[in-house]
Chains A and B, each alone.
Chain A
Amino acid sequence: MKILVYIDLQNGVPTSLSRELVNGARGLVGSGGTVDLALFGADASVAGDLGADRILHGAAPSDYTSARHGAWLDRAIDESKPDLVLLGYTTSGLDLGPAVAMRRDLPLASYCAAVRPGDGTVEVDSSIYGGKLVSTVSAALPAILLINAGAFEEAGASAAGSAKIVELAAPDAGAEASISFIAASTPDPNAIDITKASRLLCVGRGIGSEDAIEEAREAAELMGAELVGSRPIVDAGWLPKERQVGKSGRKVKPKLYLSLGVSGAPEHIEGMGSAEFIVAINTDANAPIFDHAHVGAVVDVADFLPAFKEALGKKAG
């Protein structure tokens, strides 16, 4: 079996998810198979220690654009002729995977949490409906998979320099003419860094209304925690972006993570699943957050918050 892994870069180096994908691909192909990397916009050496057989390198500008990387990925697929193309379930994975699948008429599965190659097919388990159900899908090879963070272990560095570097011929520049990169932005260094806090109180959609934010803030203060939120809370404008936990926010690993009204979609778990002690309060006993929490209770946040504040006050008493 041959697998092509698209490498996502952040600050010029492969992301931890890309490292997971390469390690996963190594396991899937076994000893007789080949793992190729598709690496565009950085020196090939940045992926030299990932453990691939070949690095299919595109000497593209360092700035990612969907059109440019789509055109380069087509070149890499032509060169590799893989059975599977693995991309992370990330912004670039979304930009590139389905568009390539449509152009090439290849099957695709998204949100993959487990991958089982078969004879001419691949079977995957995908986490859908916010993590509440698992969809098992079988696809004929070649196929494209968008893989969730955590589906595979991240590999340690292997011996650098063992991968063969193949320079790809540049695609036609016409494809990228309509999208041009202006500027990148990184997290504001002056904003609060929630990744440094040892205790976090996280509010999710289940807190109900913006009025409850103030009450949650008071509870956070009483317990010596920073107040953070899941994506819907930030999208609603109830908390600033720098306080968002999850895939599109920050990845945190506090000693205590108290979640109030957070359902626990995979995108949220990706941001907090490795917290040391997780407490979940939610009215839905089937919410996926209870699969990740150490302690939980099925109660309404609106009832819990005032009682929690009172109990904290008594303890401090």
Chain B
Amino acid sequence: MHIAVILRIVPDLAEELEIAENGTEIDREWIGLKLNEFDDHALEEAILVKEQTGARVTAIALAGDGAERQLQTAIARGADDATVVKHDLDGAIESRTAAHLLGPVLRKLGVDVVMTGVQTPEDVFGQLAPFLAGALDWPVLNAVNGISVADATMTINQEYSGGYSARFAVKAPVVLGIQTASKPPRYVSGSKLRQASSATIEAATSELPGGFVPQSVSKLSEPERGTRARILDGKAEQVAAQLVDLLAEQGLVGA
């Protein structure tokens, strides 16, 4: 089994997001970037499958800020090799465009399972895993939260809302949108990271099919502030005391 894991770098939502002057995207100049958290789980799940079966894991990212570093980190975590996909696009790349760029590379690499995170904070035009499935004409399962493999058949757990889930027997090829790895993503030591910093990242080049026009955002705005919370002022001790008084008045603390 040859697994490709697609990694994406996204804005860190813990930081303040500012709308760029053009009014249709966020200002990426100063924003902190990080690995998409669901891709982090996808990488972990791929490595877990590798440990169970000996599968080969190739980490793949579209070229862009921080991409090569993330690929080196993926090697430090256990990926066998990594490929950065060069292209001639600027800025954030939406999922369908990404699927068009990645599809031919995945075919050429000869992978038979593709894993990526189920969503990103900014995939407003749809999610990568099902677009890749459409591009490759493979089946897809999203919201995957566990994979085990026996005799070339994967048993895949798919999660639904309200605590429901179902298990499926799945034969490759398939695209999987990973929600949660079977175990929390592993810690990588500094020495492993340093070792991987000299790992070779393969390069591939891809371009969009002729005539393809990506969808675009017409406006980005702050959400309407409806009934904002009443804010309790002061330091933590003062806030805590006010809150306990307020809850006690309403009979919402204690027995």
A interface residues, Cβ below 8 angstroms from B:
10, 15, 63-67, 70, 90-92, 94-103, 107-111, 123, 126-139, 146, 175, 178-187, 199, 222-224, 232, 235-237, 241-242, 247-251, 255-256, 263, 277-281, 284, 286, 288, 290-300, 303-304, 307-308, 310-312, 314-316
Contacts and interface: CB of A to CB of B under 8 A. Distances in A.
Nearest to A144: B126
Contact of A99 (B13, B119, B122, B133): B133
A204 to B, nearest CB: 11
Residue from B99, B166, B241 with most neighbouring chain A CB atoms (10 Å): B166
B236 A223 contact: no
Contact of A136 (B14, B96, B221): B221
A100 B218 CA distance: 24
A273 to B, nearest CB: 12
A110 B166 contact: no
Contact of A134 (B126, B223, B239): B223
B184 A235 contact: yes
Q: At the interface, is chain A mostly helix, strand, loop or mixed?
A: mixed
B116 interface: no
Given A97-B130, A133-B222, A290-B229, A224 B255 contact: yes
Given A178-B174, A185-B165, A130 B13 contact: yes
Contact of B41 (A134, A135, A235): A235
Contacts of A131: 223
B130 A98 contact: yes
A137 B125 contact: yes
Report the interface size class on chain B: 35 or more
A304 B236 contact: yes
A133 B183 CA distance: 31
Given A129-B11, A295-B246, 13 more contacts: A65-B168, A98-B95, A98-B96, A101-B96, A109-B125, A136-B220, A137-B215, A179-B139, A181-B167, A182-B155, A232-B37, A297-B233, A299-B235
Nearest to B253: A223
B121 A247 contact: no
Q: Is the interface of B mostly helix, strand, loop or mixed?
A: mixed
A307 B183 CA distance: 33
Given A134-B223, A277-B250, A182 B167 contact: yes
Nearest to A182: B167
Contact of B124 (A128, A284, A294): A128
Interface in B146-190: 155, 158-174, 177, 179-180, 183-184
A40 to B, nearest CB: 15
Contact of A129 (B122, B216, B241): B122
A128 B230 contact: no
Contact of A67 (B99, B139, B169): B139
Among A103, A126, A263, A315: residue with most chain B CB under 10 A: A315
6 contacts: A99-B133, A102-B96, A134-B220, A235-B184, A236-B184, A248-B161
The 8 closest A-B pairs by CB, nearest first: A102-B134, A296-B229, A303-B236, A187-B163, A98-B130, A307-B240, A98-B126, A293-B229
A121 to B, nearest CB: 11
B248 A315 contact: yes
B231 A111 contact: no
Best-surrounded residue of B134, B139, B241 (most CB of chain A within 10 A):
B139
Interface of B: 11, 13-14, 16-17, 19, 26, 37, 41, 95-96, 99, 118-119, 121-127, 129-131, 133-135, 139-143, 155, 158-174, 177, 179-180, 183-184, 215-223, 225-237, 239-241, 243-248, 250, 252-255
Given A63-B166, A316-B254, A299 B160 contact: no
A243 to B, nearest CB: 11
B229 A247 contact: no
B163 A249 contact: yes
A212 to B, nearest CB: 14
A136 B140 contact: no
Nearest to A92: B160
Contact of A132 (B13, B174, B245): B13
B240 A304 contact: yes
Contacts of A92: 160
Contacts of A232: 37
Contacts of A187: 162-164
B247 A133 contact: no
B131 A135 contact: no
Given A134-B222, A295-B246, A303-B235, A95 B142 contact: yes
Contact of B170 (A178, A278, A291): A178
B46 to A, nearest CB: 16
A110 B121 CA distance: 11
Nearest to A285: B231
A20 B222 CA distance: 25
A97 to B, nearest CB: 7
B161 A90 contact: yes
Contact of B168 (A90, A179, A241, A288): A179
B121 A307 contact: no
A317 B205 CA distance: 69
B18 to A, nearest CB: 10
Name the residue in B140, B142, B229, B237 with the highest tally of chain A Cβ atoms < 10 Å from its Cβ. Answer: B229
A250 B163 contact: yes
